Amino acid sequence: MTRTGKLNWLTGLIFSLFFVSSTVFGQDVSVSSSLSETNIYSGESVTMTISVSGQSINNIERPQMPPVDGLRWLSGSTSTSQRIELINGRPTVSYSYGYSFIAQRPGTYTFPELTIGVDGKGYTTKPISFNVLDPGSIDNDQSARLPDIYVRLEPSTTQPVVGEMVIADIVLYFKNTVEVRSYQPTPGWKAEGFWKEILENRLQTKATSTLINGVRFQRARLLQYALFPTKSGELTISPFELSVQIQQRNRRRDIFSFGLGQERKDLQTLPVTLTVRSLPDIDNATFTGGVGDFKITRTIEPAEAFVGESIEVTTTISGSGNLPLLNKPIYEYPETLEIYNPSESSNINRNNREISGSKTFTDILIARNAGEFTIPETNVAFYDPDNDRYRTISLPALTLKATRDPRSVNGSEDMLRLNVEPITGLAQWITPDNAPLTSRSWIWGLLLSPVVILGLAFWVKSYRDKMNTDTAFARAQKAKKLATEELEKAAASTELKNGYYHIYRAISLFIADKLDLPKAGNTTSELVQAVEDSSSSKLAIEVKRLLTKCDTIAYAPGASQAGMARDVEFAQTLINELNKAL
Amino acid sequence: MMRSLSILIVMLISSFTLPAQTAQTLFDEANDQLTAGNYEEALTAYQAIEQTGEVSGALYLNMGIVATQIDSLGLAKYYFIKASEFNTTQARAAEALEYTESQFSRQSAMLPKLPWEKAVEWLLEGPGVLTIFLTGFSFILIGVLLILLKWFTSFSFQKFNHTLSTVFTTGILILLLSFYIDYVNERYSGAVIIADETQVRNTASETADIVSLAYEGYSVTIDIKKSAEHKNWVYIRLGNGQFGWMKPEALKIL
């Protein structure tokens, strides 16, 4: 979250006028005086302002300005202003009289008391000390090295204990020649090693005057953080970054420039190292983690309850310090009380340069049996950094009386008995099988089976489709079967010529079907040539020899039935070899 | 031939019934110890039966009763939960569990379960992993049957492909669901704290920071896979959502 701010320099001026002031109250009239600077270089001007405020002022007798050592009054430079404001719902009028002086000789002086008559009554201001400095004492080289504007992180302490609240001010310093228009912190500042809370600053940022190495600077606190170290040792607060919109006062202004001449500057603080001390040991109390100033109380509500009703033990820790980091004290509760998860709430204020408020822890208990129970006295402690010691608070013992609700007494008593009887006799026994799915082999078998089934079915379907659509393939597949049938006819034939006809037909049909030749009209030489082209010449020779024999058997001398049977067998062997080769 | 077959059948029947008879015999003996008030002996005898691998609702219920008698309520809760998983003893175990829960002095806050966790639990306790797997497989088989019918017969209808893809997608999703539920079931397991009090630490070390304390009777969930990373430690989730490591002796895994 970013936060922007704008310096109200008129307010700053008024604040600086009141910075060193003395106030005199009389009934509803207050009179105060202030010097705009209390460290003034010789030759510098300074303004003494006398303010008179009240709800019903009729007449003011302006004071006579006495001679003041170290200052010379510029008599013609007196200014007057009037302001009306509502204070507690009633109008209040404030009159301011400004007197300008020039600082004279270096030294330490006192502006004397002044008497002012208001409605006929005299009011006297308090004297104010101031120093007039020698301009010759300024180290010009050193002051020249100072930047026109810079920012610093100023911790309230550099040696806190763990958990102690450290107020870190983000302070902007700038010379009088610089006018700051606005500023914007860069988001994402991480104060590692610290719990961080931003403090609220309801007042507008005001600038005060300060001297640094002889140079007058304006000092404005922009932001304020509460840091709580979470561990001991040397902890470094990382640089805080912001960007500011500035304008040089001495640059010539043009009424038509419309803001030209403004520039943006990115600034960051120097790292600040804190030496965080450890908390000492504690042995006789429970440490809540609190570091600060706290009050701790513990209550029980209700102190009398029915069995089963919820009871709240509330611990309230209030005060200032590391409230967000407080832990719930641990209590010893009687065993018969049921304890539920505690709740916690907090009401934290982040004003007035501190974290304050209260944090409440609530334990929820339920009594399961009737009786009187005591939550024993407990010592809880927090660390007081102002006095560097633990402060122990004794929380008195709490008593709880639990009674049975008469409306549900029967049910409660039943709850206290186990009415389940053991089972005897025959029991139904099982052997549990808790093996995971992935370790059962049949599961994987089942998962695989659809794939196998579909694969086989696809193969069958593809074969069937090819047999129906691819004639050559179908003839090749059926070739051996048809050839075998022809050979069976040859074997069964008693007539040699008919037998050899079937052998010839078996061989020729087989070759034609296998090689997708015409079913009829193939000559022996064409068939032999086809075999030779598709396989080996040796097979072709065998085919030629058998087919020639079949063609010429009618003229062959000594042909017999036994010879034909051998040729049938040979033809079968030849078909087998052709089946492998083609 | 008939005689040999008869001997074989008798041997087969014996091989199935003998362990059950042994478990029943031991159970009867343990029941006698329980009736005689010898609770420690009875529990030992019951545990011996459990170790044989034969279990029953009656066994777990009686073990729970014995554990109650010896004032080991965490153990009793564990056995009653086991007994509630059997139909025969579900009602009695629920009653006994109600009693046992009322006796614990400390109760753990329980975060409500997420809808998805409830669904997984319902599927595990209801149909079971195997039924879900077989349901998914049946869808796949129906899809295969539809394909075969289309390939080898003239069976077809409008939006056949759409129906087929729906059937396969449904089957695959149900199969994946069954494997997921099986994975969850194998990875996470319920457990009951049986020690009076035990520390839950943020790492598996005696010197690690204590995250919380767990008391007898707390129901916790164990991450079995993560627990395997460290010997003698188990990684658990308490009912209130906190995680941590504890010693396995302090609990019994359901």
Contact B99 A420 (CB under 8 A): yes
pLDDT for A412 equals: 44
What domains does chain A contain, in order, with CATH numbers? 9-136 (2.60.40), 145-250+259-276 (2.60.40), 286-410 (2.60.40), 471-581 (1.20.120)
A336 to chain B: closest CA residue: B105
Helix, strand and coil percent figures for chain A, each rounded to 5: 25, 40, 30
pLDDT for B143 equals: 94
Nearest to A437 among B28, B143, B182 (CB): B182
The residues facing A223 across adjacent strands are A170
B100 to chain A: closest CA residue: A418
Which of the pair, A406 or B31, is modelled with greater confidence? Answer: B31
**B20: which chain A residues are within 8 Å (Cβ-Cβ)?**
429
Contact B65 A418 (CB under 8 A): yes
The beta strands (E) that lie in B153-218 are given as: 188-193, 197-201, 210-215
User: Does residue B182 sit at the A interface (CB-CB below 8 Å)?
Assistant: yes
Helix, strand and coil percent figures for chain B, each rounded to 5: 60, 15, 25
ipTM value for the complex: 0.78
User: Does residue A465 sit at the B interface (CB-CB below 8 Å)?
Assistant: no
User: Does residue A443 sit at the B interface (CB-CB below 8 Å)?
Assistant: yes
Q: Hey, what amino acid is at A37?
A: E
The three-state secondary structure class of A185 is strand
Rounded to a whole number of angstroms, the distance between the first and last alpha carbons of chain A is 88
The conformation of residue A318, written as its DSSP 8-state character, comes to E
pLDDT, mean of residues B196-225:
89
pLDDT for A14 equals: 40
Please write the tens of the pLDDT for every residue from B1-30: 455 555 555 555 544 444 555 888 889 999
Residue A468 to chain B, least CA–CA distance (Å): 13
Residue B2 to chain A, least CA–CA distance (Å): 32
The residues facing B55 across adjacent strands are A430
Structure tokens at B16: 């199935």
**B88: which chain A residues are within 8 Å (Cβ-Cβ)?**
428
pLDDT, mean of residues B152-171:
90
User: Does residue A339 sit at the B interface (CB-CB below 8 Å)?
Assistant: yes
- Is residue B248 predicted with pLDDT exceeding 80? yes
pLDDT for B7 equals: 53
Contact B178 A437 (CB under 8 A): yes
A429 to chain B: closest CA residue: B56
A413 to chain B: closest CA residue: B99
Q: Hey, what amino acid is at A507?
A: I
Full-model pTM: 0.47
**Which residues of chain A register pLDDT less than 50?**
1-26, 254, 256-257, 409-415
Nearest by Cα to A116 from A101, A134, A95, A133? A95
Contact B27 A427 (CB under 8 A): yes
Contact A338 B106 (CB under 8 A): yes
The beta strands (E) that lie in chain B are given as: 188-193, 197-201, 210-215, 219-223, 234-237, 243-246, 251-253
pLDDT for B176 equals: 94
Residue A265 to chain B, least CA–CA distance (Å): 47
User: Does residue A335 sit at the B interface (CB-CB below 8 Å)?
Assistant: yes
Contact B148 A453 (CB under 8 A): yes
Q: Please, how many CA atoms are within 13 Å of residue A579, restricted to the half-sphere of its CB?
A: 16
Residue B55 to chain A, least CA–CA distance (Å): 5
Buried b (16+ CB within 10 A) or exposed e, B171-205: beebbebbbebbebbbebbebbbbbeebbbbeebe
User: Does residue B24 sit at the A interface (CB-CB below 8 Å)?
Assistant: yes
Count of beta carbons in the 10 Å neighbourhood of residue B91: 11
User: Does residue B95 sit at the A interface (CB-CB below 8 Å)?
Assistant: yes
Contact B57 A454 (CB under 8 A): no
User: CA B65, CA B80: separation in Å to the nearest integer?
Assistant: 8
pLDDT for A21 equals: 42
Residue with tokens 């919380």: B212
- Is residue B140 predicted with pLDDT exceeding 60? yes
The three-state secondary structure class of B131 is helix
pLDDT for A484 equals: 92
pLDDT, mean of residues B171-178:
94
User: CA A445, CA A437: separation in Å to the nearest integer?
Assistant: 12
Contact A429 B99 (CB under 8 A): no
- In CATH terms, the fold of domain B2-103 is 1.25.40
The residues near B178 (Cβ < 8 Å, ≥ 6 apart) are A437, B129, B130, B132, B133, B136
Which CATH code, of 1.10.287.70, 2.30.30.40, 3.40.1280.10, 3.60.21.10, is assigned to B188-253?
Answer: 2.30.30.40
Contact A341 B240 (CB under 8 A): yes
User: CA A215, CA A226: separation in Å to the nearest integer?
Assistant: 31
Phi and psi, residue A129, nearest 5°: -85, 145
Among A341, A429, A431, A462, most B C-beta atoms within 10 A, so best to mutate, is A429
Contact A429 B56 (CB under 8 A): yes
Please answer whether residues B79 and B63 qualify as being in contact, where contact means their C-beta atoms are separated by less than 8 angstroms. Answer: yes
A339 to chain B: closest CA residue: B106
User: Does residue A423 sit at the B interface (CB-CB below 8 Å)?
Assistant: yes
Phi and psi, residue A242, nearest 5°: -155, 160
- Is residue B161 predicted with pLDDT exceeding 80? yes
**A338: which chain B residues are within 8 Å (Cβ-Cβ)?**
104-107
CB pairs under 8 A between A and B: 108
Cα dihedral A296, A302, A304, A310 sign = negative
